[in-house]
Amino acid sequence: MNKVILVGNLTRDPELSETPSGIPVCRFAIAVSRDYANAEGNRETDFFNITVWRGRAENCGKYLKKGNKVAIVGSLQNRSYDDKDGNKRYVTDVVANEVEFLTPKSASNDSEDEPSSARRERPQLEAIDDNQLPF
């Protein structure tokens, strides 16, 4: 099984582009803080490269920006390439199957046409007098 779930903040604005065949692809990186502190009492941070495809890529490119908090569900993908000096380099990317925008709309200054799938609304609870409770 190859599945990863990450919650972190974008380290840079997303880069939206298209493949030569016209398929949208969006790339960005997120910073994820570790749950524990090191010997000096500091929490370390890991950085992950994220790749998103098709319609999700277009939404990410349109609505995300540096600093936004996101939840990513996807899989790890390894690739290699030769750098300019001829050395083989290995890269691990997270290919996102799901992206949930966690930064509140008011904090990210998004436009009014943000898709409903990209935001979560909290229901308003009305006050109840203790005398109204059935127990």
Q: pTM for this structure?
A: 0.74
Which pLDDT belongs to residue 135? Answer: 44
Which pLDDT belongs to residue 107? Answer: 67
Which pLDDT belongs to residue 6? Answer: 97
> Where in the chain are the domains?
4-132
Alpha helices in the chain (DSSP H): 54-63, 105-108
Helix (H) or strand (E) holding 51: strand 43-53
Q: What is the CATH number assigned to the segment(s) 4-132? A: 2.40.50.140
Which pLDDT belongs to residue 105? Answer: 74
Contacts 24+ apart (CB under 8 A), 43-49: 47/11, 48/6, 48/8, 48/72, 48/94, 49/91, 49/92, 49/93, 49/94
Q: What is the largest CA-CA distance in the chain?
A: 77
Q: Are 65 and 32 in contact (CB under 8 A)?
A: no
Which pLDDT belongs to residue 21? Answer: 96
Which pLDDT belongs to residue 97? Answer: 96
Q: Are 26 and 15 in contact (CB under 8 A)?
A: yes
Q: What is the distance, to the nearest Å, from the Cα of residue 20 to the centroid of all Cα atoms in its chain?
A: 25
116: amino acid identity, one letter: S
- pLDDT by 10-residue block (mean), the chain, 135 residues: 97 97 97 91 94 96 96 96 95 96 74 47 48 51
Which pLDDT belongs to residue 118? Answer: 45
